[in-house]
Structure 1
Amino acid sequence: MRLNSAIAKNGMGATDDFTQFYLSCSYSVVEKHIVPGSPTKYFQTVEMNYFVVDAFAQKVFSTASIEAKGVGNSEEQASTAAIRQVSPTNTTLASFIKESNMKIIKYYDEQYKNIIVKAKSLAKVYQYEEALFHLSLVPEACVGYQEVVEVAAGIYQKYLDDKANKALAKARAIWNAGQDSYAAAEAGEYLAEILPDATCYPDAVSLSNEIKARVKSDIDYYRKREEKQEERAYQVDMAKIKAWKEVGVAYGNNQKSVYYYRTLY
């Protein structure tokens, strides 16, 4: 939590979501001795080592070290007291975080075109979520952010269409096999997954009208379809950006164990 506070206080975003770069720290005791007197006191000098790590390349991106001193009734308490001396506003730590932030932005300024190429390649093999994940990592401060947003919007549309086409195919198969109220209800579950932004949405509406006319029963999905259409039909650009980023972030969070638990140093 102290690291999150330090990051937030120095102009960077602190998040529990998976990102390419993350801040970590370790410490080592460089000096210790017992302070004479009663009760016995322990004195320690601790070196705090801060790392910004590139999770993809599995290497340390930047580092900083800060020494702090602490006294306690045990060696453990002395270490804890020393660590607590390094506040989120520590000038060395603040400078390190700000410089790391600038280096990270510079990295994306230089790499965003390669990230776009990778995302497009992933999209060609239907790996839409992974593609959106990589695009979602590019910060708004990057010079190519707007280009990234435009590419992401196109990939997100393909992602929506892919999901919608699969849902529509399942709905049709279920309806064609049953053509009764049970089939209508089950098909409706899949049709409800199809957003108005999907290219096949008119086909979904046509199928739902066909089912409703045939079954002639007040099944929830068909009764509420118009409400859902109005609710989902209009999305401002920021809402769309949030939508594709959420897909990418969700994919990334499932990759934490792949990257975070390797030995880095």
Structure 2
Amino acid sequence: MKVRILVVALAALFYGTATTVKAQSAKDIGVISLNPVVPENDGLGLKATAMLKNKLNQIATANGMSGSGFDNRFIITGHIQKLRSEQTQTVPQKNAVLVSIGIYVGDGLDGTLYSNFSTEAKGIGDSEDQAIAAAVRKLNPALPQLQEAVAKGKQRITEYYDRMAANIIQTAKASAAVGKYDEAMNMLFAIPMGNKDFQTAQSLIAQYGSTSLEKKNLDIVRQARSAWSSDPTESGAATASNILKSLVMPSAKVQAEAKSLQTEMAARIKAVSDREFQLEKQKAQDEKEVRIATVRAAASVAKAYVESQPKVVYHYYWW
């Protein structure tokens, strides 16, 4: 039985993180997080709510920000006010609406509005919900006045990180010092590219990511050893070997631990002496490539950490 330890490329390095999260994370590195927020009590139907959130995400990405990044502090939200609603005289009859669409960018935690934009749009649909969704769909993220407003908000966010980056780094170091590596990396990923402390943050992310990965790999070896100890048979060896398949970019120390276990299993199971319990050594990797891969992998872990946190209560009071 050959146990193969696969080197997983780039964002797929850390075990236990959803594939979709990994795919999104790498492109978010160094990008300001502007989180789309649609209030649940705004009276919008399901279709209009979904359309508005999608539109807010489009506006964020169109202006060089991430709609789902590492920091949940800054938000882009929208308010739809129905100005007119009527039934058309067509067959079949449709719903027609005229709405006012307000777009707001700011600090959702302390309630500070940075910029806003408003426009009116018409929509037609089989229901009022569909009609409002159709009106929201017409909002063009590339509209110059809208981009100007969002750019103003982006500048305010950039200024915030210029002021706070050093404090963020110190807080992240404190979290890492007590073993909270995922939390620390999430804080550091919030510092955007262009900030004077960006490279410092990235270096720390690579350091903490490597330490975190080592701990997780050693835990995998411990799990495998436990499986073997509780069932020192061919079945237990197979279980332990399958657990070892979860190892990712194992260090020399981890490889030695895994090899020791596999040698022990092979020596104990005389009846299956023809089976091969082999841990393939990792190929030497370029230090820079490993660092980049580790940072991108850490992005997946940090994003998963954000999504695992309690829901944030924002304070915007319709600005």
TM-score when normalising by structure 2 = 0.65
The 2-side partners of 1:71 and 1:137 are apart by 38
- Post-superposition offset of 1:25: 0.8
The 2-side partners of 1:217 and 1:199 are apart by 27
The 2-side partners of 1:133 and 1:150 are apart by 13
Matching of residue 175 in structure 1 with residue 219 in structure 2 = no
Query: Given residue 123 of structure 1, which amino acid in structure 2 is its aligned partner?
Result: A
Structure 2 regions of 5+ residues with no counterpart?
Answer: 1-53
Partner of 1:52 in structure 2? 105
Partner of 2:169 in structure 1? 116
Alignment of 1:74-89 (within 5 A): 76=128, 83-84=136-137, 86-89=139-142
* 3-state SS of paired residue (1:65): strand
Query: Given residue 238 of structure 1, which amino acid in structure 2 is its aligned partner?
Result: I
The 1-side partners of 2:221 and 2:123 are apart by 67
Partner of 1:238 in structure 2? 292
The 2-side partners of 1:196 and 1:136 are apart by 22
The 1-side partners of 2:311 and 2:63 are apart by 29
Indicate which of 116, 131, 145 corresponds to 2:198.
Answer: 145
Query: Given residue 63 of structure 1, which amino acid in structure 2 is its aligned partner?
Result: S
Shift in alpha-carbon separation, 1:183–1:241, aligned structure 2, 3 A: same
- Post-superposition offset of 1:73: 9.1
Please give the per-residue CA displacement for 1:202-249, whole angstroms capped at 9, x wherever unaligned. Answer: 222232233234333536xx34x31xx437966533212111111111
Aligned length: 254
- Post-superposition offset of 1:197: 4.1
Higher Cα Rg: structure 1 or 2? 1
* 3-state SS of paired residue (1:167): helix
Partner of 1:209 in structure 2? 263
Name the % identity. Answer: 24
TM-score when normalising by structure 1 = 0.76
- Post-superposition offset of 1:149: 0.8
Indicate which of 99, 119, 123 corresponds to 1:67.
Answer: 119
Partner of 2:207 in structure 1? 154
Asked if the contact 1:33–1:44 (Cα under 8 Å) also holds between the matched residues in 2, the reply is yes
Shift in alpha-carbon separation, 1:244–1:61, aligned structure 2, 3 A: farther
Greater helix proportion? 1
Shift in alpha-carbon separation, 1:42–1:63, aligned structure 2, 3 A: farther
The 1-side partners of 2:124 and 2:228 are apart by 73
Shift in alpha-carbon separation, 1:44–1:179, aligned structure 2, 3 A: closer
